[in-house]
Structure 1
Amino acid sequence: MATSKVILVTGGTGLVGKAIEKIVQSERRADEKWVFLSSKDGDLCDYNSTKKIFEKHRPSHVIHLAAMVGGLFHNMSHNLDFLRNNLHMNDNVLQISFETGVEKVVSCLSTCIFPDKTQYPIDETMVHNGPPHPSNFGYSYAKRLIDIQNKAYHEQHGCMFTSVVPCNVFGPFDNYNLESSHVVPGLIRKLHDLMEKGGETFTVLGTGKPLRQFIYSLDLARLFLWVLREYNEVEPIILSVDEKSEVSIKELAEEIANAYDFKGKIVFDTSMADGQYKKTASNAKLRKYLPDFEFTAFPAAISESVQWYKENYKNARN
């Protein structure tokens, strides 16, 4: 069968991109050609650089994962950078997708874009109902504007540009840099380094009380492929584990410690900020389409993620 789709993945060498690549390789579909971009392929913040990428690969479909991302403390100190870089990147990808006749774009948002003051669980209708948490307003507003642009491109030009809103993603090929990582890879790296030095006290920043929904990257990859192939609404869709799967940061730290067979003490530095207490998201819309989708059990997903880092830490993004 001849290739009928050319799918360009921005941010293709990151956490989600690598997971999508693994699932795609296992499927071996002859009607799809996949191109996974890295930052080495060009600067998506620059219009001309982005256009050259699209002219080279001529994609029919785009999965837009590339973004300036980081953890709580990196966001708090760099809100302007997060705002400007992501605005430029997103605008270039969507505008050039329109100019070159891309059939469908699926962009990746985040549950942190939702209002700080809101009712829970949050759903897709609530994205713009109030300001996001002040700790990451730059990133959040830039991501919200993707949803606005998707609707505008559809209204004015009929484009099928849509977006997904994952909960907190983790898995192999994550960012383990302690200055910019999210909580799961940050804690994995921290405990790994501690045990390498023979330490016995695992210190977690904050109280450990905030609640989060975590999705394994390979589960998210399967859902991304379903959205690309089957989901045809401009309105965003939340890709999250069920509400009952929400865990505290304390429980997360304990699960990572279990995966490492750590016998020391876990302590919480309550002088450090917790960030948003909860972001509980409803996956009712997803369940309407995929009622029987099975997520990887949290302990198993953490164990697999820890095992990957133990085997690859010398070459991981540290």
Structure 2
Amino acid sequence: MNKDAKIYIAGYKGMVGSAIYRLLKDRGYSNVVVRNSTDLDLREQDQVRAFFAAEKPEFVFMAAAKVGGIVANNTYRADFLYDNLMMQNNVIHESYNHGVKKLLFLASSCIYPKLAPQPIKESYLLTGPLEETNEPYAIAKIAGVKLCENYNRQYGCNFISVMPTNLYGPNDNYDLKNSHVLPALLRKFHEAKENESLYVEVWGSGTPKREFLHVDDLATACVHLMDTYNGNVSVNIGTGTDLSIEELALLIKKIVGYSGTLKWDRTKPDGTPRKLLDVSLIHSLGWKHKISLEDGINRVYNETFVTAH
């Protein structure tokens, strides 16, 4: 991408889109196009068609999505399926209609089978049943990956897709009902410290293992792939290392400086037992993460809870 190329970031106010936006601005890209969801509803085909006709972007980062944790995914199942299908279908189709040079679609590691062998290779997609609690979201994202693949095969488009691991960073969601595990734990431990609570309640058993990537690292990976990768394999983006939820909770407890105890609520679901990505492909393409988990959580905690208050 040239520094003056017209680049559209769909979902630029979300955690991923805002990280890509910051990175492009920092690197001197001068022609980045964005819209608020109030000005452009990506679920509405007529609005998306009119936007592409007027703006004619050369490159598109499709980072807009309806996202949430286990409870949100399991509660708003129809919304997660419908909204994500409509948004990605409209953006990908109008990118084809208006001759976009290249599109990058953000999928998710949750689209892999629940009991996939570990670490998870890109080839494991569609080889087994999905995790039930987030099946609608996963099916929508799988459809987006396959849409990119088949627009390439039928029309010769250059649409690529990536599958990031669990993300955290600036502009994350800290709502305790709808957030993911890392931001939820950060908020819980911070509030417990502030209120001098004796314990922090943590969902599940603590045994599932998860991999976490700072969203600024994801942004560098996406721009790197936009510049260097052309292909129909959806590329895993992660660190290649994981830890248990209990280990994560203890790490966050240390970073926050909370002195109480943990109380495990085993009535809450654990989700997938383990989800570690095989990142050998993206390593072979010349990218590796730079932000360690402890440094990343420290940075997020200070930016969100310490400096902000």
Question: How high is the TM-score relative to the length of structure 1?
Answer: 0.92
Give the aligned residue type for 2:303: W
What does residue 61 of structure 2 align with? Answer: 63
Q: Residue in 1 aligned with 2:138?
A: 140
Q: CA deviation at 1:57?
A: 2.6
Distance 1:313 1:83 in 2: 34
Aligned ranges 1:171-190 → 2 under 5 Å:
171-190=169-188
The answer as to 2:282 corresponding to 1:286 is yes
Partner of 2:101: 103
Residue of structure 2 equivalent to 1:307: 302
CA change 1:43–1:171 in 2 (3 A) is same
The letter of the residue matching 1:269 is D
Give 1:22 shift: 2.3
Moved over 3 A (4+): 311-314
Distance 1:120 1:3, change over 3 A: closer
- Output the amino acid matched with 2:14: G
Match of 2:5 in 1: 5
- The one-letter code of the counterpart of 1:303 is N
Q: CA separation in 1, counterparts of 2:142 and 2:308?
A: 34
RMSD: 1.7
Aligned partners of 1:181 and 1:109: how far apart in 2?
18
Q: Which amino acid aligns with 1:295?
A: K
Cα distance in 2 for residues equivalent to 1:22 and 1:311: 22
Q: Which residue is equivalent to 1:28?
A: 28
Identity %: 30
Segment drifting more, 206-215 vs 73-82: 73-82
In the alignment, is residue 255 of structure 1 matched against residue 251 of structure 2?
A: yes
Aligned-pair distance for 1:54? 2.1
Tell me: CA distance 1:39–1:312, structure 2 relative to 1, closer, same or farther (3 Å). Answer: farther
Contact 2:115 2:272 in 1 (8 A): no
Normalised to the residue count of structure 2, the TM-score between the two structures is 0.95
Q: Residues 17 and 36 of structure 1 are in contact (CA less than 8 Å); yes or no, is this contact kept in structure 2?
A: no
1:216 match: 214
Structure 1 residue 37, shift from structure 2 partner = 3.4
Which residue matches 2:87? Answer: 89
Equivalence for 2:14: 14
Distance in 1 between residues matched to 2:259 and 2:22, nearest whole Å: 34
- What 5-or-longer segments of structure 2 have no aligned partner? none
Deviation for aligned residue 1:118? 2.4
2-side partners of 1:153 and 1:4: how far apart? 26
- Pair 1:50-2:43 in alignment: no
| Shift in CA distance, 312/100, structure 1 to aligned 2, threshold 3 Å | farther
Specify the SS of the correspondent of 1:106. strand
2 CA distance for matches of 1:313 and 1:84?
35
> What SS does the corresponding residue of 1:204 show, helix, strand or coil?
strand
User: 1:294: Cα distance to partner?
Assistant: 4.3
Deviations 1:81-114 (A, max 9, x none): 2111111111101111111111111010111000
Between the two proteins, the alignment pairs up a number of residues equal to 308
User: Are the counterparts in 2 of residues 150 and 162 from structure 1 also a CA contact under 8 Å?
Assistant: yes
Shift of 1:256: 1.3
Q: Contact 1:41–1:53 (CA<8 Å) still a contact in 2?
A: no
Structure 1: state its 5+ residue gaps.
none
